[in-house]
Amino acid sequence: MLDLDRYRKDCAQLSLGAEKLEEMIAMTENQKQKRLARPARAALVAAALAAALCLTAAAAEVPAVREFFASFVTVTVTGTEDGVFAGLAIPPVTVEEREGRMFLVVDGEETDVTDALETDGKYLYEGEGFRVEVDEKGIATITATSSDGETVMSYTSEPLQEGQAPVYTVTDDAGSREMDWVKADEAEASKDQEVTMRIVSEDGEVHTYPIPDGE
Amino acid sequence: MTDETFEHWARTYGDTLFRVAFHALASHPDAEDVVQTVLLKLYQEPRDFESEEHVKRWLLRVTVNEARRLLRSPWHRRRVPLEDWDAPAPAPAESDVLDQVMALPGKYRVSIYLYYYEGLSVREVAQAMGAGESTVQTWLQRAREKLRLALSEEKEETGYARP
Protein backbone atom coordinates (compact mmCIF):
# COMPACT_ATOMS: atom_id res chain seq x y z
CA MET A 1 0.00 0.00 0.00
CA LEU A 2 1.12 3.54 -0.64
CA ASP A 3 3.00 4.97 2.31
CA LEU A 4 1.38 8.37 2.21
CA ASP A 5 3.64 10.05 4.73
CA ARG A 6 6.76 9.05 2.86
CA TYR A 7 5.23 9.91 -0.47
CA ARG A 8 4.30 13.37 0.75
CA LYS A 9 7.77 13.91 2.18
CA ASP A 10 9.33 12.81 -1.10
CA CYS A 11 7.03 15.10 -3.07
CA ALA A 12 7.78 18.03 -0.79
CA GLN A 13 11.42 17.70 -1.78
CA LEU A 14 10.49 18.02 -5.45
CA SER A 15 11.06 21.68 -5.96
CA LEU A 16 12.21 24.08 -8.62
CA GLY A 17 14.34 25.82 -6.06
CA ALA A 18 13.92 29.44 -5.15
CA GLU A 19 16.66 30.61 -7.46
CA LYS A 20 15.24 28.79 -10.47
CA LEU A 21 11.74 30.03 -9.77
CA GLU A 22 12.90 33.64 -9.47
CA GLU A 23 14.80 33.21 -12.73
CA MET A 24 11.63 31.95 -14.42
CA ILE A 25 9.60 34.84 -13.05
CA ALA A 26 12.17 37.32 -14.30
CA MET A 27 12.35 35.64 -17.71
CA THR A 28 8.58 35.73 -18.02
CA GLU A 29 8.33 39.38 -17.07
CA ASN A 30 11.21 40.36 -19.29
CA GLN A 31 9.95 38.48 -22.27
CA LYS A 32 9.83 41.01 -25.04
CA GLN A 33 7.69 39.47 -27.70
CA LYS A 34 8.07 40.49 -31.27
CA ARG A 35 4.71 41.76 -32.32
CA LEU A 36 3.04 42.95 -35.40
CA ALA A 37 1.39 46.30 -35.21
CA ARG A 38 -2.31 45.77 -34.55
CA PRO A 39 -3.53 47.45 -37.74
CA ALA A 40 -1.19 45.29 -39.79
CA ARG A 41 -2.39 42.16 -38.02
CA ALA A 42 -6.01 43.10 -38.43
CA ALA A 43 -5.46 43.80 -42.08
CA LEU A 44 -3.78 40.44 -42.60
CA VAL A 45 -6.55 38.58 -40.82
CA ALA A 46 -9.12 40.51 -42.77
CA ALA A 47 -7.30 39.55 -45.94
CA ALA A 48 -7.33 35.89 -44.94
CA LEU A 49 -11.02 36.06 -44.15
CA ALA A 50 -11.72 37.93 -47.32
CA ALA A 51 -9.95 35.21 -49.28
CA ALA A 52 -12.32 32.71 -47.76
CA LEU A 53 -15.49 34.72 -47.81
CA CYS A 54 -15.28 36.65 -51.04
CA LEU A 55 -15.91 33.55 -53.08
CA THR A 56 -16.68 33.84 -56.68
CA ALA A 57 -17.15 31.21 -59.29
CA ALA A 58 -13.57 31.72 -60.35
CA ALA A 59 -12.04 28.27 -60.10
CA ALA A 60 -8.63 29.66 -59.41
CA GLU A 61 -9.76 30.94 -56.03
CA VAL A 62 -11.24 27.68 -54.83
CA PRO A 63 -8.07 25.75 -53.91
CA ALA A 64 -6.97 28.51 -51.54
CA VAL A 65 -10.38 28.47 -49.93
CA ARG A 66 -10.29 24.74 -49.58
CA GLU A 67 -6.99 24.91 -47.82
CA PHE A 68 -8.53 27.34 -45.43
CA PHE A 69 -11.36 24.97 -44.63
CA ALA A 70 -9.87 21.56 -45.19
CA SER A 71 -7.72 21.77 -42.13
CA PHE A 72 -10.61 23.33 -40.26
CA VAL A 73 -9.63 25.87 -39.32
CA THR A 74 -6.08 26.75 -40.05
CA VAL A 75 -5.83 30.47 -40.30
CA THR A 76 -2.40 31.61 -41.18
CA VAL A 77 -1.52 35.20 -40.55
CA THR A 78 1.86 36.16 -41.80
CA GLY A 79 3.79 39.34 -41.52
CA THR A 80 7.11 40.66 -40.51
CA GLU A 81 8.32 43.16 -38.07
CA ASP A 82 12.03 43.69 -37.99
CA GLY A 83 12.29 40.68 -40.24
CA VAL A 84 10.66 38.31 -37.73
CA PHE A 85 8.03 35.94 -39.07
CA ALA A 86 4.78 35.83 -37.19
CA GLY A 87 1.99 33.38 -37.74
CA LEU A 88 -0.73 31.40 -36.04
CA ALA A 89 -2.67 28.25 -36.79
CA ILE A 90 -5.74 26.81 -35.13
CA PRO A 91 -6.42 23.08 -35.22
CA PRO A 92 -9.91 21.58 -35.63
CA VAL A 93 -12.12 22.30 -32.60
CA THR A 94 -15.58 20.85 -32.03
CA VAL A 95 -17.84 20.02 -29.11
CA GLU A 96 -19.74 16.77 -29.41
CA GLU A 97 -22.65 15.39 -27.39
CA ARG A 98 -22.59 11.64 -26.93
CA GLU A 99 -24.68 9.60 -24.52
CA GLY A 100 -25.46 12.59 -22.37
CA ARG A 101 -21.80 13.62 -22.07
CA MET A 102 -20.14 16.63 -23.63
CA PHE A 103 -16.75 16.20 -25.28
CA LEU A 104 -14.39 18.90 -26.42
CA VAL A 105 -12.37 17.64 -29.38
CA VAL A 106 -9.26 19.63 -30.19
CA ASP A 107 -7.19 18.32 -33.05
CA GLY A 108 -8.65 14.86 -32.47
CA GLU A 109 -7.93 14.85 -28.75
CA GLU A 110 -11.08 14.33 -26.70
CA THR A 111 -11.74 15.79 -23.28
CA ASP A 112 -14.87 14.98 -21.31
CA VAL A 113 -15.95 18.43 -20.12
CA THR A 114 -19.33 17.43 -18.67
CA ASP A 115 -18.28 17.65 -15.02
CA ALA A 116 -16.39 20.90 -15.50
CA LEU A 117 -19.44 22.47 -17.12
CA GLU A 118 -21.66 21.33 -14.27
CA THR A 119 -19.27 22.64 -11.63
CA ASP A 120 -17.81 25.78 -13.17
CA GLY A 121 -20.34 26.50 -15.88
CA LYS A 122 -17.53 26.49 -18.41
CA TYR A 123 -14.38 24.69 -19.48
CA LEU A 124 -11.23 26.40 -20.63
CA TYR A 125 -8.66 24.82 -22.92
CA GLU A 126 -5.39 26.58 -23.52
CA GLY A 127 -3.79 25.91 -26.86
CA GLU A 128 -0.74 27.23 -28.63
CA GLY A 129 -1.89 30.60 -29.91
CA PHE A 130 -5.53 30.00 -29.11
CA ARG A 131 -7.89 29.24 -26.28
CA VAL A 132 -11.23 27.47 -26.27
CA GLU A 133 -13.96 28.24 -23.78
CA VAL A 134 -16.94 25.90 -23.70
CA ASP A 135 -20.06 27.23 -22.00
CA GLU A 136 -22.93 25.36 -20.35
CA LYS A 137 -24.78 25.03 -23.64
CA GLY A 138 -21.76 23.38 -25.21
CA ILE A 139 -20.96 26.38 -27.36
CA ALA A 140 -17.22 26.65 -27.86
CA THR A 141 -15.68 30.05 -28.36
CA ILE A 142 -12.31 29.72 -30.01
CA THR A 143 -10.14 32.77 -29.62
CA ALA A 144 -6.97 33.07 -31.60
CA THR A 145 -4.28 35.10 -29.96
CA SER A 146 -1.10 36.50 -31.33
CA SER A 147 2.28 35.86 -29.73
CA ASP A 148 1.72 38.79 -27.40
CA GLY A 149 -1.57 37.35 -26.19
CA GLU A 150 -3.73 39.84 -28.06
CA THR A 151 -6.96 38.57 -29.57
CA VAL A 152 -6.74 38.33 -33.33
CA MET A 153 -10.01 36.68 -34.20
CA SER A 154 -12.62 34.47 -32.64
CA TYR A 155 -15.32 32.11 -33.72
CA THR A 156 -17.92 29.95 -32.06
CA SER A 157 -18.99 26.39 -32.63
CA GLU A 158 -22.35 24.88 -31.72
CA PRO A 159 -22.37 21.44 -30.06
CA LEU A 160 -22.71 18.61 -32.56
CA GLN A 161 -24.74 15.48 -32.50
CA GLU A 162 -23.02 12.44 -33.93
CA GLY A 163 -22.50 12.73 -37.67
CA GLN A 164 -23.39 16.41 -37.88
CA ALA A 165 -21.20 18.79 -39.79
CA PRO A 166 -19.85 21.66 -37.73
CA VAL A 167 -21.28 25.16 -38.05
CA TYR A 168 -18.98 28.02 -37.18
CA THR A 169 -19.75 31.65 -36.63
CA VAL A 170 -16.72 33.75 -37.30
CA THR A 171 -16.00 37.25 -36.23
CA ASP A 172 -12.88 38.95 -37.42
CA ASP A 173 -10.67 41.22 -35.38
CA ALA A 174 -12.70 44.30 -36.12
CA GLY A 175 -15.94 42.51 -35.34
CA SER A 176 -17.36 43.80 -38.56
CA ARG A 177 -17.85 40.55 -40.37
CA GLU A 178 -19.97 37.72 -39.11
CA MET A 179 -21.14 34.73 -41.05
CA ASP A 180 -22.15 31.15 -40.47
CA TRP A 181 -19.89 28.71 -42.17
CA VAL A 182 -21.12 25.26 -43.00
CA LYS A 183 -18.61 22.66 -43.98
CA ALA A 184 -19.51 19.82 -46.27
CA ASP A 185 -18.71 16.54 -44.64
CA GLU A 186 -15.76 15.52 -46.73
CA ALA A 187 -15.26 12.33 -44.76
CA GLU A 188 -18.60 10.97 -45.87
CA ALA A 189 -18.20 11.95 -49.46
CA SER A 190 -17.31 9.07 -51.69
CA LYS A 191 -14.55 9.44 -54.25
CA ASP A 192 -17.11 9.91 -56.98
CA GLN A 193 -19.08 12.48 -55.07
CA GLU A 194 -18.45 16.11 -55.61
CA VAL A 195 -17.39 17.67 -52.36
CA THR A 196 -19.02 20.98 -51.77
CA MET A 197 -18.65 23.75 -49.31
CA ARG A 198 -21.56 25.90 -48.29
CA ILE A 199 -21.38 29.31 -46.78
CA VAL A 200 -24.50 30.79 -45.24
CA SER A 201 -24.45 34.53 -44.97
CA GLU A 202 -26.16 36.55 -42.27
CA ASP A 203 -29.21 37.14 -44.41
CA GLY A 204 -29.64 33.39 -44.77
CA GLU A 205 -28.51 33.17 -48.35
CA VAL A 206 -26.71 29.91 -49.05
CA HIS A 207 -23.73 29.85 -51.38
CA THR A 208 -22.53 26.45 -52.51
CA TYR A 209 -19.09 25.96 -53.96
CA PRO A 210 -17.72 22.79 -55.49
CA ILE A 211 -14.25 21.83 -54.38
CA PRO A 212 -12.22 20.31 -57.19
CA ASP A 213 -10.84 16.87 -56.47
CA GLY A 214 -7.14 16.65 -55.87
CA GLU A 215 -6.57 20.31 -55.23
CA MET B 1 -2.31 41.25 -14.68
CA THR B 2 0.10 43.23 -12.58
CA ASP B 3 3.64 42.01 -12.07
CA GLU B 4 2.96 41.85 -8.34
CA THR B 5 -0.06 39.56 -8.77
CA PHE B 6 1.82 37.38 -11.23
CA GLU B 7 4.79 37.04 -8.90
CA HIS B 8 2.51 36.14 -5.99
CA TRP B 9 0.86 33.34 -7.91
CA ALA B 10 4.10 32.16 -9.47
CA ARG B 11 5.75 31.89 -6.04
CA THR B 12 2.67 30.30 -4.48
CA TYR B 13 2.12 27.65 -7.13
CA GLY B 14 5.49 27.31 -8.89
CA ASP B 15 6.54 24.17 -7.04
CA THR B 16 3.05 22.68 -7.35
CA LEU B 17 3.16 23.12 -11.12
CA PHE B 18 6.61 21.62 -11.23
CA ARG B 19 5.49 18.56 -9.28
CA VAL B 20 2.46 18.05 -11.53
CA ALA B 21 4.62 18.40 -14.65
CA PHE B 22 7.28 16.12 -13.19
CA HIS B 23 4.70 13.45 -12.41
CA ALA B 24 3.35 13.73 -15.95
CA LEU B 25 6.69 13.75 -17.74
CA ALA B 26 9.11 12.02 -15.36
CA SER B 27 11.75 14.47 -16.49
CA HIS B 28 13.18 17.36 -14.52
CA PRO B 29 14.13 19.52 -17.55
CA ASP B 30 10.83 18.86 -19.32
CA ALA B 31 8.91 19.73 -16.17
CA GLU B 32 10.83 23.00 -15.93
CA ASP B 33 9.98 23.78 -19.55
CA VAL B 34 6.31 23.19 -18.85
CA VAL B 35 6.37 25.43 -15.78
CA GLN B 36 8.01 28.20 -17.79
CA THR B 37 5.32 27.89 -20.47
CA VAL B 38 2.52 27.88 -17.91
CA LEU B 39 3.94 30.94 -16.16
CA LEU B 40 4.05 32.77 -19.47
CA LYS B 41 0.42 31.86 -20.14
CA LEU B 42 -0.49 33.05 -16.66
CA TYR B 43 1.35 36.32 -17.23
CA GLN B 44 -0.47 36.84 -20.52
CA GLU B 45 -3.88 35.76 -19.22
CA PRO B 46 -6.06 38.82 -19.74
CA ARG B 47 -8.94 38.07 -17.41
CA ASP B 48 -9.12 38.42 -13.65
CA PHE B 49 -9.37 35.26 -11.62
CA GLU B 50 -12.19 35.13 -9.10
CA SER B 51 -10.17 33.60 -6.27
CA GLU B 52 -6.98 31.75 -5.34
CA GLU B 53 -8.89 28.51 -5.81
CA HIS B 54 -9.89 29.58 -9.30
CA VAL B 55 -6.34 30.40 -10.36
CA LYS B 56 -5.09 27.12 -8.88
CA ARG B 57 -7.67 25.11 -10.84
CA TRP B 58 -6.72 27.01 -13.99
CA LEU B 59 -3.01 26.47 -13.44
CA LEU B 60 -3.39 22.75 -12.78
CA ARG B 61 -5.45 22.30 -15.92
CA VAL B 62 -3.07 24.30 -18.09
CA THR B 63 -0.09 22.40 -16.66
CA VAL B 64 -1.66 19.02 -17.47
CA ASN B 65 -2.52 20.27 -20.97
CA GLU B 66 0.99 21.60 -21.53
CA ALA B 67 2.56 18.35 -20.32
CA ARG B 68 0.34 16.42 -22.72
CA ARG B 69 1.24 18.80 -25.49
CA LEU B 70 4.92 18.26 -24.83
CA LEU B 71 4.45 14.50 -24.94
CA ARG B 72 2.67 14.84 -28.27
CA SER B 73 5.12 17.27 -29.82
CA PRO B 74 7.16 15.93 -32.74
CA TRP B 75 10.37 16.89 -30.99
CA HIS B 76 9.44 14.94 -27.89
CA ARG B 77 8.08 12.00 -29.86
CA ARG B 78 11.48 11.53 -31.41
CA ARG B 79 12.91 11.29 -27.95
CA VAL B 80 10.23 9.48 -25.96
CA PRO B 81 7.50 7.10 -27.11
CA LEU B 82 4.18 8.85 -27.65
CA GLU B 83 2.60 6.30 -25.33
CA ASP B 84 4.52 7.74 -22.40
CA TRP B 85 1.25 9.01 -20.99
CA ASP B 86 0.19 5.40 -20.64
CA ALA B 87 3.53 3.70 -20.26
CA PRO B 88 5.60 3.45 -17.13
CA ALA B 89 8.51 5.77 -16.56
CA PRO B 90 11.99 4.24 -16.60
CA ALA B 91 12.60 1.87 -13.72
CA PRO B 92 13.63 3.67 -10.59
CA ALA B 93 17.19 3.40 -9.43
CA GLU B 94 16.16 3.57 -5.82
CA SER B 95 13.08 1.87 -4.60
CA ASP B 96 11.49 4.50 -2.44
CA VAL B 97 7.85 5.45 -2.48
CA LEU B 98 8.17 8.27 -5.00
CA ASP B 99 10.07 5.99 -7.34
CA GLN B 100 7.35 3.38 -7.00
CA VAL B 101 4.79 5.98 -8.01
CA MET B 102 6.98 7.25 -10.84
CA ALA B 103 7.12 3.70 -12.22
CA LEU B 104 3.38 3.89 -12.90
CA PRO B 105 1.92 5.15 -16.19
CA GLY B 106 1.75 8.94 -16.49
CA LYS B 107 -1.99 9.36 -15.98
CA TYR B 108 -1.82 7.24 -12.82
CA ARG B 109 1.13 9.27 -11.53
CA VAL B 110 -0.62 12.59 -12.03
CA SER B 111 -3.91 11.43 -10.54
CA ILE B 112 -2.10 9.93 -7.53
CA TYR B 113 -0.24 13.19 -6.99
CA LEU B 114 -3.28 15.43 -7.29
CA TYR B 115 -5.40 13.19 -5.09
CA TYR B 116 -2.96 12.24 -2.36
CA TYR B 117 -0.58 15.17 -2.25
CA GLU B 118 -2.67 18.14 -3.36
CA GLY B 119 -5.71 16.69 -1.60
CA LEU B 120 -8.06 17.29 -4.52
CA SER B 121 -11.34 15.43 -4.69
CA VAL B 122 -11.91 12.91 -7.46
CA ARG B 123 -14.07 15.48 -9.21
CA GLU B 124 -11.33 18.10 -9.01
CA VAL B 125 -8.73 15.65 -10.27
CA ALA B 126 -11.06 14.79 -13.15
CA GLN B 127 -11.44 18.46 -14.03
CA ALA B 128 -7.72 19.10 -13.90
CA MET B 129 -7.00 16.10 -16.10
CA GLY B 130 -9.90 16.51 -18.48
CA ALA B 131 -11.28 13.09 -17.66
CA GLY B 132 -14.49 11.67 -16.22
CA GLU B 133 -14.80 11.06 -12.50
CA SER B 134 -15.31 7.34 -12.98
CA THR B 135 -12.20 7.25 -15.15
CA VAL B 136 -10.14 8.92 -12.44
CA GLN B 137 -11.54 6.53 -9.84
CA THR B 138 -10.46 3.64 -12.04
CA TRP B 139 -6.99 5.15 -12.49
CA LEU B 140 -6.58 5.58 -8.74
CA GLN B 141 -7.79 2.07 -8.06
CA ARG B 142 -5.45 0.56 -10.64
CA ALA B 143 -2.57 2.67 -9.39
CA ARG B 144 -3.12 1.41 -5.86
CA GLU B 145 -3.29 -2.18 -7.10
CA LYS B 146 -0.05 -1.77 -9.03
CA LEU B 147 1.66 -0.22 -6.04
CA ARG B 148 0.45 -3.03 -3.81
CA LEU B 149 1.70 -5.60 -6.31
CA ALA B 150 5.06 -3.87 -6.65
CA LEU B 151 5.44 -3.79 -2.90
CA SER B 152 4.60 -7.46 -2.49
CA GLU B 153 7.08 -8.38 -5.24
CA GLU B 154 9.72 -6.33 -3.50
CA LYS B 155 8.93 -8.11 -0.28
CA GLU B 156 9.30 -11.52 -1.95
CA GLU B 157 12.61 -10.57 -3.53
CA THR B 158 14.19 -9.02 -0.49
CA GLY B 159 12.28 -10.61 2.32
CA TYR B 160 11.76 -7.13 3.55
CA ALA B 161 8.68 -4.99 3.43
CA ARG B 162 8.99 -1.26 3.74
CA PRO B 163 7.27 -0.09 6.90
pLDDT digits (tens, 9 = 90+) for B36-95: 999 998 988 776 787 888 899 999 989 998 888 888 765 555 455 444 555 445 444 444
Taking only the tens of pLDDT, chain A with its 215 residues reads 678 888 998 999 899 999 999 999 999 888 744 333 344 444 444 444 444 443 332 333 333 222 233 233 333 333 333 333 234 456 667 788 877 788 888 776 788 888 888 888 889 888 776 788 898 888 888 776 655 555 555 556 666 655 555 555 544 333 333 333 333 333 333 334 343 344 444 444 444 444 333 33
Q: Which residue has the higher pLDDT, B119 or A83?
A: B119
Mutation site, A98, A115, A122, interface B, largest B CB count within 10 A: A115
Report the CATH architecture of B1-85. Orthogonal Bundle (1.10)
DSSP collapsed to 3 states, chain B: CCHHHHHHHHHHHHHHHHHHHHHHHCCHHHHHHHHHHHHHHHHHCCCCCCCHHHHHHHHHHHHHHHHHHHHHCHHHHHHCCHHHHCCECCCCCCCCHHHHHHCCEHHHHHHHHHHHHCCCCHHHHHHHHCCCHHHHHHHHHHHHHHHHHHHHHHHHHHCCCCC
Architecture of domain B88-163: Orthogonal Bundle (1.10)
Contact across the interface for B162 and A3, Cβ inside 8 Å: yes
Whether chain B has a CB inside 8 Å of the CB on A143: the answer is no
Closest chain B residue by Cα to residue A147: B44
Q: Read off the pLDDT band of B114 (50, 70, 90).
A: very high
Residue B54 CA to residue B62 CA, distance in Å, equals 12
Mark yes or no for CB contact A115/B126 under 8 Å.
Answer: yes
- Range(s) within chain B of domains with CATH label 1.10.1740: 1-85
Whether A24 sits inside 8 A of B96 (CB atoms) is: no
Q: Is A15 on the interface with B (CB under 8 A)?
A: yes
A26 touches chain B (CB under 8 A): no
Asked if A21 and B15 come within 8 Å (Cβ–Cβ), the reply is: yes
Contact A124 B58 (CB under 8 A): yes
Helix H or strand E encompassing A90: none
Count of alpha carbons within 13 Å of A137, Cβ hemisphere only? 6
For residue B100, list chain A residues with Cβ-Cβ distance below 8 A: 2
> Under 8 Å CB-to-CB from A20, ≥6 apart: which residues?
B32
Query: Where along chain B do the CATH 1.10.10.10 domains lie?
Result: 88-163
Least CB–CB distance from B44: residue in A2, A15, A149: A149
ipTM at complex level: 0.81
Residues of B in contact with A19 (CB under 8 A): none
- DSSP sequence for A181-211: EE---GGG--TTSPEEEEEE-TT--EEEEEE
pLDDT tens digits, one per residue of A15-46: 999 999 999 999 988 874 433 334 444 444 44
Whether the predicted pLDDT of B150 surpasses 90: no
